Amino acid sequence: MERNSRIFVAGHRGLVGSAIVRRLVEGGYDDLVLRGRDELDLTDQAAVRAFFDREKIDYVILAAAKVGGILANERFGGDFIRDNLLIQTNVIDAAWRAGVRKLLFLGSSCLYPKFAEQPLKEEALLTGALEPTNKPYAIAKIAGITQCQAYRRQYGFNAICAMPSNLYGPGDHFDPEGSHAIPGMIRRFHDAKMEQAPSVTLWGTGTPRREFLYVDDMADACLHLMERYDSEDIINVGPGEDIAIGDLARLIRRVVGYEGALTQDLSKPDGHPRKLMDVSRLFATGWRPKVGLEEGLNRTYGWFLENAAPPAPRPAATTTGEAAE
C-alpha cells in the first residue's frame, strides 16, 4: 500500500479496527476512509454499494463484525450469524465491484474444529465439528473466508484472510458477562477490588488453554500482510504461545491488585479445550509480535482505568454530633 492510498477500515471503532487505524496513522497513511455505524450500515447492501461507488477505495481492511464471548453467543446466536453474513457479503462483493485493489478479511481461531490437532494448522479448517457454543458466529465467518477464496478464483479479486488468535487490548468491551475472557476478567476483578468482595468466580474448570495477542500487534500484522502476503490460503496470526485460563485469571488478579479468593463454577461450559495456532506460515514472512502477555495486560488495565472503569463506589455517609432537626 502506498502512503497516499485510499484505505477503508470497516469497523474502525472496534477493538481491532481502532488499533489498525492507530497503526496506519503511525505509518504515515493519510487518506483513511472511516464510517461509523450511524453513517454507514454495513448490513444494508444498497448503502454499501453506493458508498464504494462514491468513495473510490483502493484497499479494504474488513474488521467489522458482531463478536462476543460464550454467554453472548449462546443468547444471541441468530444475531451473530445474520449480522456477520450480511456485513461480510455486502463489503466483499461491493469492494470487488468497485475495483478495490486488495481486501483483508479477518477470521478467528474459533473457526477451527473443536478437537483439531494442536497446534492448529491452516489446513485444519473444515475438517471436523465446530465448538457448539460459538457455531453461528463460526459458520458465518467461514462463509466469509469461502467468499474471498471464491471471488479470487472466479473474478481474480485480491482478497486475503487472516485468522487471529484471541485478541485483547485498549478499546475492548469490558462487560463482565458478555465480553471475551480477558476484558471480562479485568472488569470482574476490578469490580471485586473496588467493592472489597471476598471472591471472584471463574467459569468452568480453568484448564482450557488459550492463545492471546495484544491488539496493537494484530494491527501491525495486518499491515504486514497487506504489504507482503498474496494467497487464497488463510494465514494464522498469533504469538504461538498459550496459557491455561486458570493461570490467566491468577495473572489478571495480580495485575489488577485484587487480593480476594478465586473460585470456580463447574456448571459453566469450558468451550474449546485448547486453541493454539501454528504460526509458522506467518513467522516465515518475517513478522513477530512485540508485546508479551503480562505487559499487554498491564497496558490494557491502564487503559481500562482511564477510559472504561465505572466510578468508584461512594463511601457510606457518616455524621458527627447531634442529628439535625
Known catalytic residues? 137
3-state secondary structure of 82: helix
* DSSP notation for 166-221: EEE-TT----TTTS-HHHHHHHHHHHHHHHT-SEEEEES-S--EE-EEEHHHHHHH
Using CA atoms, how far residue 313 sits from 17, 194, 198, 257, in Å, is: 33, 7, 16, 17
Please give the grid coordinates belonging to residue 82: 445474520
Q: Is 280 annotated as a binding residue?
A: no
Q: Is 210 annotated as a binding residue?
A: yes
Q: Is 15 annotated as a binding residue?
A: yes
Q: Is 188 annotated as a binding residue?
A: yes
Q: Is 190 annotated as a binding residue?
A: no
Q: Is 107 annotated as a binding residue?
A: yes
Q: Is 193 annotated as a binding residue?
A: no
Within a 10 A sphere around the Cβ of 69, how many other Cβ atoms? 20
Who's near 46: CB < 8 A, 6+ residues apart?
Answer: none
Q: Is 298 annotated as a binding residue?
A: no
Q: Is 16 annotated as a binding residue?
A: yes
Q: Considering only CA atoms, which of 308, 208, 271 is closest in space to residue 74?
A: 271
Q: Is 93 annotated as a binding residue?
A: no
Which residues are known binding-site members? 11-17, 106-109, 141, 164-167, 180, 188, 203, 210, 270
Annotated binding site for substrate: 188, 203, 210, 270
Binding residues for NADP(+): 11-17, 106-109, 141, 164-167, 180
